[in-house]
Amino acid sequence: MSTGIQFDEAAARGVEAMYKTPDIVAQRSRVLDVLGLQPGESVLDVGVGPGLLTFDMARIVGADGLCAGLDVSEAMIAMTNQRCAELPSVDIRVGDATSLPFDDASFDAVVSTQVYEYVAEIDLALREVARVLRPGGRVVILDTDWETAVWATDDRVRQRRILDAWEEHLHDPCLPHSLAGRLEQAGLQVIRRDVIPIYNTVYHPNCYSFGILFAIQNFVAGHKGVTEEEAKAWARELRDRGARGEYSFSLNRYLFAAIKS
């Protein structure tokens, strides 16, 4: 996995704050519902992030199960280990999605949210998922189509420049377009495809778009000709719209469920 954003401790805390908003809490509940974990099962979380999903899954599978996970960020690993410190049967490692450090047919389920859009060798990564799954095992993957990101703005040209620059931190900003076919090529039968929209009509710290706005502003300066002042002006306009009650943000995420036949 590779990313243009370095997830140090400060960045990890920013991600954690976004993942605690009602938008992403509801998304996590949807992922867990589709995954359908049972006590005693083994599950792998590819890209644990701040460990909120890992924590929920570890509580479900319990002491007789196994909740394993990996991430390229040591800050995220540390946060996840701290969050899961009191839970049994949790195994969190530093690792890469294209070379999963687990044996063949080790898991009943694999899950990954907001990870594969960063992975250059996506087909290899999906073959790794198929390798570590047991026959009949299932995988749930959720990623964003960043072309669907829309803020209400008075300057659409500037916003398009900002969002185009933001896409430079991803390997494939539109991965959901090709993900179903790639899963099938990896030997995984797609059984479900869902869209999970995020829609914010207020500018507030407890909304996903509040945090991602700052992440975008901080990243885009210096990318594709976007200046720091241009990024600040874009963010300032959106804050001002929020103060006037004219704020609007929407984004689509896509969930794919597949099984290993």
Residue 249 has pLDDT above 90, yes or no: yes
The rounded distance, in Å, linking the Cα atoms of 38 and 45 is 15
Q: Read off the pLDDT band of 1 (50, 70, 90).
A: very low
Task: State the DSSP string of 16-62.
Answer: HHHHTSHHHHHHHHHHHHHHT--TT-EEEEES-TTSHHHHHHHHHH-
The stretch 51-62 carries a mean pLDDT of: 98
pLDDT, tens only, 197-237 = 999 999 999 999 999 999 999 999 999 999 999 999 999 99
Question: In the structure, what pLDDT confidence band is assigned to residue 2 with cuts at 50, 70 and 90?
Answer: very low
Position 5 pLDDT exceeds 90? no
Mean pLDDT of the region 133-154: 98
Alpha-carbon distance values, 239 to 3, 17, 110, 125, 203 (Å): 27, 19, 39, 39, 7
pLDDT of residue 4: 56
CATH of domain 9-148+170-199+251-260: 3.40.50.150
Q: What does the alpha-carbon distance between residue 185 and residue 122 come to, in Å, rounded to a whole number? A: 11
- For residue 24, report the phi and psi dihedrals to the nearest 5 degrees: -85, -25
Q: By the 8 A CB rule, do 72 and 95 touch?
A: yes
pLDDT at res. 165:
98
Amino acid letter, residue 148: T
- pLDDT at residue 85, as a whole number: 95
Tell me the two tokens of residue 108. Answer: 């009943």
| One-letter amino acid of 58 | A
Lowest pLDDT segment from 5-14, 47-56, 142-151, 209-218: 5-14
Kindly give the pairing relationship between strand 249-260 and strand 188-200.
Answer: antiparallel
Handedness of CA 206, 28, 198, 5 (dihedral sign): positive
**For residue 179, how many C-alpha atoms fall within 13 Å in the half-sphere facing its CB?**
31
Check residue 10 and give its pLDDT: 80
Work out the angle between the directed axes of helices 208-220 and 156-166 (0-180°, nearest 10): 80
pLDDT for res 6 = 61
Across the chain, what does the average pLDDT equal? 95
Q: Is the pTM of this model over 0.85?
A: yes
Which residues make Cβ contacts (< 8 Å) with residue 179, sequence separation at least 6? 116, 141, 143, 254, 256
pLDDT at 14: 87
Residue, of 11 and 252, whose pLDDT is higher:
252
Average pLDDT over residues 65-73: 97
**Domain locations in the chain as residue ranges:** 9-148+170-199+251-260
Please state, in angstroms and rounded to a whole number, the distance separating the CA atoms of residues 2 and 240.
Answer: 34
Tokens of 78: 């540390």
Planar angle of CA 6, 119, 61, nearest 5 degrees: 90
* Alpha-helical runs (H) found in 62-207: 74-83, 122-132, 156-166, 176-185
pLDDT at 113 over 60: yes
